[in-house]
Chain A
Amino acid sequence: MRRVAALALAGALCSTGCGRADGPVVEEAWVRAAPPGVAVQAGYLVLHNPARDAVTVVGARSDAFGRIDIHESVNRDGMRAMRRVERLDVPAGGRVRFEPGGRHLMLIGPARPYREGERLHIVLVFADGREYGFDAEVRGDAP
């Protein structure tokens, strides 16, 4: 029974993406559900880099969207503004959070409307040419 529980736990932990032991790993990925016809959606995740070297994200892509930028919501002159992030460093052993009100994937031009519960495949591109694919669940609000 204990072994079954341990296996189930391992399965649950891996359900959002288990990468190579030495490479970056994406966890808790989700895409904010949006009404049909909306031009831009936001994606959120936690990017973990268990390796001994820093990694740098330089882009992202998905067949589900026309283009993906990395953006950050910031305060500028007393207003909320969005700033594009060209390169995102994740230090060795570090975690970078993409979360509402902060850093997010700017998912531009959905190929079609997505329903809550759908899983969308997204690929992160790193400066060294590596790519990492993961699935993000479409949700109404943060998990």
Chain B
Amino acid sequence: MSPRFALLSLVLAAVALALGAASAHWLRMSGSPSGALVLDPPRPMPELDLLDHQGRPFDRARLAGRWSVLFFGFTRCPDICPATLIALAGASGRLDDLPPGQQPQVVFVSVDPMRDDPGTLARYVPHFDPDFTGVTGELPAVQTLTDALGVAVSYRRQAEGDYSVDHTAAVFLVDPQARLRAIFTAPHEAAQLARDYRRIVAGRG
């Protein structure tokens, strides 16, 4: 393991542990929606300095004014990430009847920004649903978001200079005031995600 990877992994593991411990206090298990942890009160998101898959700025304002569903992954993740994106596409399709203001924007945030530039995400994310948004940026900028949500990320070196990224597979719901409102825990299934989303957005979470 190179010093850079070792340091990165250590720092991220420490952050993940600290946030995990803190999150345990903030979260309370909600009674009704199974598979979802509802935050009460919701947690404001920090200012963001990221890029979407079309190269446009993705800042905190992009999370305001509508509900957002965030998932963290990377394009070299062939198993969990496509399965989750397909579940999210299925959930999104089940929410078509909601008023436009209540329909979610689905955002795939790369935790491998060193390899996933906007162009890579532009070829990848819309494959699952043309309305999905891919987001990437400088590593510290991505970490601002993962830290704020308590997303654990760890870079694991593999053979031949390659590496893989261990990451939280939860899905995060951000409300129209750009506050973290709920966490959907893995594994994800389209119908369940859609049911939980409806309950929380309707204020019955």
Contact = CB atoms under 8 A, between A and B. Distances in A.
Best-surrounded residue of A42, A82, A140 (most CB of chain B within 10 A): A82
A76 interface: yes
Interface string A46-70: 0000000000000000000000000
Contacts of A71: 79
A141 to B, nearest CB: 6
Interface stretch (B42-50, B96-104, B161-169): B161-169
A94 interface: no
Chain A interface residue bracket vs B: 20 to 34
B168 A34 contact: no
Contacts of A102: 79
Contact of A34 (B78, B153, B167): B78
Given A38-B75, A101-B187, A141-B86, A80 B80 contact: yes
A41 interface: yes
B166 A76 contact: yes
Contacts of A80: 80, 166-169, 186
A66 B167 CA distance: 26
Interface in A65-97: 71, 73, 76-82, 84
A73 to B, nearest CB: 5
Contacts of B16: 77-79
A77 B152 contact: yes
B120 interface: yes
Contacts of B168: 78-80
Contacts of B158: 84
B152 A100 contact: no
Given A37-B123, A78-B16, A82-B164, A100 B83 contact: yes
Contact of A78 (B20, B75, B77, B124): B20
A106 B120 CA distance: 19
A38 B79 contact: no
24 contacts: A34-B78, A34-B82, A35-B123, A35-B127, A36-B123, A38-B123, A38-B124, A39-B76, A40-B78, A41-B78, A42-B78, A42-B79, A77-B13, A78-B16, A79-B169, A80-B169, A81-B156, A81-B166, A84-B158, A100-B83, A101-B79, A101-B80, A101-B187, A106-B78
Given A35-B126, A140-B86, 13 more contacts: A32-B78, A34-B82, A38-B123, A38-B124, A41-B78, A77-B13, A79-B167, A80-B166, A81-B154, A81-B156, A101-B80, A101-B83, A104-B79
8 nearest A-B pairs in the assembled complex, by CB-CB distance: A35-B127, A42-B78, A81-B166, A80-B169, A79-B166, A40-B78, A100-B83, A42-B79
